[in-house]
Structure 1
Amino acid sequence: MVMETAILSVPVFSTLCNEAFRLRRAVFVHEQRVPEVEEFDADDLSADHLVAVTAGEVSGTLRVIYAEEHVKIGRVAVASQWRGQGIAAAMIERAIDLHRAARDNRFYLTAQADKLPLSERFGFVAYGAEFLDGGMPHLAMKNY
């Protein structure tokens, strides 16, 4: 990474979490044209929200949800001006470190089909057929 980035676990609706929601809206709803009704859901209320802060601003975010059989990492978003600097990878690594004791260290995510290499770096393997999520091709991935 070019600049030092802090990755923080923040409570839902805290100031930093609200900034993360703003970033998610900018990336998914405005940039990638995901319908807003699909972007925010009830899982946001119980998720662990990780927020990356670089140079005093929210540069990235993701959420972690405890599903019955695995820990699901999702809603990974990085502000356009901070992309390509390792922020998404740092957030995923931190999420795995924080939650590896849960669900027998089994993690799951769905990745945009053109972004598989990022998840593969953490041992995730794609399985099943490609599907549309938010209008974009995705693949399910697990690392167990």
Structure 2
Amino acid sequence: MEIKVVNSEQKLQDAYQVRSTVFVEEQGVPEELEIDDLEKEAIHFVGYQQGKPVAASRMRFVEDYAKLERVCVLETFRGKGYGKDIIFFMEKVAKEKGLDKTKLNGQTHAEAFYQSLGYKTISGEFMDAGIPHVSMMKSL
């Protein structure tokens, strides 16, 4: 998979397409919650496999850490390491920006996945868009 930092309207639409498929269609998140007022302050990422967008995420800088958000991979491309690849790519960008910590709110079903990448759970379970989540942090 080739990961790109979004730098054009087409790449942004590709990222939104993947996010809409995963979060809105597959998980039932209302579209007005998925695309929010924080989009403009975020750095967006999109992963391509043979020219097709298959993964997406965004990252914002909050206080002294990078917040990883909206991490997703299309269902037919899961299990190939693409989620790990996009997380590590975002961590690299965060380090390049001078940050040494990342934080994310992960769905509880993905908690073990994030733990395998070095994330530590720092909260109890909470609901976001009707889906159970936990906050997780990692020192880079």
Aligned residues: 139
Match of 1:118 in 2: 113
RMSD: 1.3
Q: Deviations over 1:29-75 (max 9, x none)?
A: 11101111111112111211111000210010010101113100010
Q: CA deviation at 1:88?
A: 0.8
Q: CA deviation at 1:77?
A: 1.1
SS of residue in 2 equivalent to 1:129: coil
- Tell whether the 8 Å contact from 2:66 to 2:99 is kept in structure 1 after alignment: no
Structure-1 separation of matches of 2:74 and 2:34: 16
Match of 2:124 in 1: 129
Question: Unaligned stretches of 5+ in structure 1?
Answer: none
Structure-2 separation of matches of 1:103 and 1:39: 28
Match of 1:93 in 2: 88
Identity of aligned residues (%): 27
Aligned positions of 1:14-29 closer than 5 A = 14-29=9-24
Aligned positions of 1:6-17 closer than 5 A = 6-11=2-7, 14-17=9-12
Letter in 1 for 2:5: S
Query: TM-score by structure 2 length?
Result: 0.93
Indicate which of 54, 57, 61 corresponds to 2:56: 61
Query: TM-score by structure 1 length?
Result: 0.90
Question: Unaligned stretches of 5+ in structure 2?
Answer: none
SS of residue in 1 equivalent to 2:58: strand
Runs of 4+ in 1 over 3 A off after TM superposition: 101-104
